[in-house]
Amino acid sequence: MDEESDYQILQTFDNVEIRSYNEMIYASYTPSELEGRDGSFRYVANYIFGENNKNEKISMTSPVVVKPYNNYEMAFMMPKSYSLNTLPTPNDDKIQIYKVPSSIKAAIRYSGYTSESIEIKKKQQLIEVLDKYNIFYENDFEVFIYNSPFKIFNRRNEIVVSVHLENKKKINMNQKVYLGGGCFWCVEAVFDHVIGVKNVVSGYSGGSMKNPTYKDVSSGNTKHAEVCEISYNPDEISFEDLLKIFFYTHDPTTLNRQGNDEGEHYRSIILFSDEDQEKVAKDVIQELNASVFDQKIVTELVPFEVFYIAETSHQDYYANNKYAPYCSFVISPKVDKLKKELRHFYK
């Protein structure tokens, strides 16, 4: 592959580069399900190897781009010598050709094998640096692979995300809230694309055991609840609106149960970080008790103490397993209904 000179480094924070990317043209393929991720490389490669209306071979540039937030779309950057008008048309109509505008992105590098678990770990490291330096970021995390497709040994991989340096001061107000409303797969899916939400991490809180595992929590012996750590910018969405979404998407009147998910670890819970969050939560519960729910809300309201991140297999679970039975029959209908009825909250 030829490495295109597609960016300039603006700043460096610890092991993270802030880059200015030029306008680019992508040729991409989006698999219909997660299992198609590995095969996506072949579809786009066929196009650049000559399966187009001109039988023209196109130079393979680097990196290959994988978009986990878009069902693992895989895209190749087209050489700068082409425009949208001069690129040949793919024979396969599943290949999409489109222009990507110039942008500012943050990137963290790693080498060796790449996998979903490694990508999640590196994403968390990138977020920690951006939070440390109060840098505003979107939720469009991508994987850049510089010399080979997924699961092949690479000399260079990257996790990148769009950032807005001009909003740096505002991000000083970024806050976190910890919410549990049944299975954390559902909670994560509900908040993942809410406007103003910067990151959602699944984990455990509210119990007594240090560093519990999923098995420990599911046993009911640790007193932990499955919760999500939700990082959000209050300039874009209020804590009150987050709670309204939270209460809209689960039944807070059932004790230790959501649907068929039963047990203390599935309890409805808000772990507040300060007195302001506590007051807002009490006011919202009082309002909903009076005007919405026939039964009294039993959501536990307790001070936040510690959050334990869940195993990597539970992170981005819905995004990675949309066609699994639980996701198809439980989570997808909930998310689809929510995005329709509360669409003003969603990207």
Residue 252 contacts residue 298 (beta carbons within 8 Å): yes
Q: What is the DSSP string of 42-74?
A: HHHHHHHTT-BTT------EE-EEEEGGGTTEE
- What would the two tokens of residue 21 be? 């990317």
Task: Please tell me the distance from the alpha carbon of residue 203 to that of residue 301, in angstroms, as a whole number.
Answer: 18
- d(C-alpha 328, C-alpha 334), whole Å: 10
How many other CB atoms are there within 10 angstroms of residue 344's CB atom? 7
Beta bridge partners of 103: 21
Q: Which residues are catalytic?
A: 183
Tell me the DSSP string of 95-156: -EEEEE--EEEEEEEEEE---HHHHHHHHHHHHHHHHHTT-EE-S--EEEESSS-TTS-EEE
Instruction: Provide the residue count of the chain.
Output: 347
